Amino acid sequence: MGNDDALSRAEALLERTPLFDGHNDLAWSIRVDRQARGDVRAYDLTRVHAESDTDIPRLREGRVGAQFWAAFQPTNAPHPARTALEQIDLIRRIEATHPDVFLPARSAADFARAQKAGRIASYIVVEGGVGLENALAPLRLWHAAGARMLIPCHNETLDWVDSATDAPRHGGFNAFGRAVIGECNRLGVIVDGAHVSHDGIRRLLDVSEAPILLSHSNAYALCDHPRNAPDDVLRRLKANGGAVLATFVPGFVSQDLRNWLRGSLDGYGKAPLVADPKGRIAAIEARQGPAPRATLAQVADHIVYLVETAGIDHVGIGSDYYGGLEPLGLESVARFPHLFAELFRRGFSERDLEKIANRNLLRVMRKVEEVGEVLREAREPAVGRLEDYPGA
């Protein structure tokens, strides 16, 4: 298949089956932008942001039909509960500022509504349970504000959950952490193990009553970053009904780059959170020479491996565009069709790619919603704080 033929097929496929991307940090990029400082109008999503990777023109070019936007708060935020609410509000302001582009989406059914209206379904994921401040009640308030997915931790272990990039203390989740999972199940909120330790994901699979997601993770067998998923976890997604969404983060894609970065990371593979991630890489290159570059073809390698291991019904896309360096060929949200063109060249059928584009993630959402409806009939909201859970 020629390059032009594959790209034309990919563009046509994504026109009728638009991409549902599982993770994008645009809200954080707007927050830390030196000029905008969290002001959505000042940031101006209607123009191409050549310095970054996400804006309305390129979302349209990339055939994005739905997006989980991350309401991210750093673990060391001085006011994490406030920061979480500010980030949820920022995403809602993106929706309100551009109502002709974004449809506030709070259920799987809203994807079809958005597609019919010619808009992008806008979903909210809270990235980092530090904003709970060790209490269950904020989960319900986040849900009321529109959040439909929770990533329990970011790069650091919390009082109730072990991070993939920090020292473990809880065997994955302690008693309070398991209560967080249960209340998310009851609310119909997806629990996303992307940043959780490998043992934590195994524990999540043990106790969750609903399908889980790994919203921006790759195959550990191809790149041994602890944020990537090992084979036993990938195989368990079949019985759980969940999915892994392949990510574009270069250090999770390329083993060569992972090796090159080791000296600048801590022992757990954790990179420092900086406002200028491209500048950080440039500073390292000044010391040790040019960095190996991850590529679109390597992302496709991960997708092939994930499908072979987890199954075609359990793989999607979670790009994690965040304003940093991206793989060659995937420099912005405009480039999604080029990845699907490569997957056509690898022998994937249109039916396979429809599943990867949006159907697998939508199926997970629908099942999580169904489980939530049943659980809300069966039990009352979980209450309390960390100290109320013995053994926590």
318 has a pLDDT exceeding 90? yes
CATH number at residue 178: 3.20.20.140
**Number of structural domains found in the chain:** 1
More confident residue, 289 or 52: 52
Are 323 and 277 in contact by the 8 Å Cβ rule? The answer is yes
Per-residue confidence (pLDDT) for residue 273, from 0 to 100:
81
Which helix (DSSP H) or strand (DSSP E) does residue 126 occupy?
strand 120-127
Q: How many residues does the chain have?
A: 392
278 has a pLDDT exceeding 90? no
Encode pLDDT of 90-105 as tens digits.
Answer: 999 999 999 999 999 9
Mean per-residue pLDDT, 54-74: 98
1 has a pLDDT exceeding 80? no
Per-residue confidence (pLDDT) for residue 339, from 0 to 100:
98
Per-residue confidence (pLDDT) for residue 32, from 0 to 100:
95
80 has a pLDDT exceeding 80? yes
Confidence of residue 390 (pLDDT cuts 50, 70, 90): confident
Mean per-residue pLDDT, 186-202: 98
3 has a pLDDT exceeding 90? no
Host domain of residue 351 = 3-388
Spatial separation of the C-alpha atoms in residues 268 and 247, rounded to whole Å = 19
Encode pLDDT of 104-163 as tens digits.
Answer: 999 999 999 999 999 999 999 999 999 999 999 999 999 999 999 999 999 999 999 999
Per-residue tokens: 212: 């889980």
- Sort residue 289 into left (φ over 0), alpha (ψ -120 to 50) or beta: left
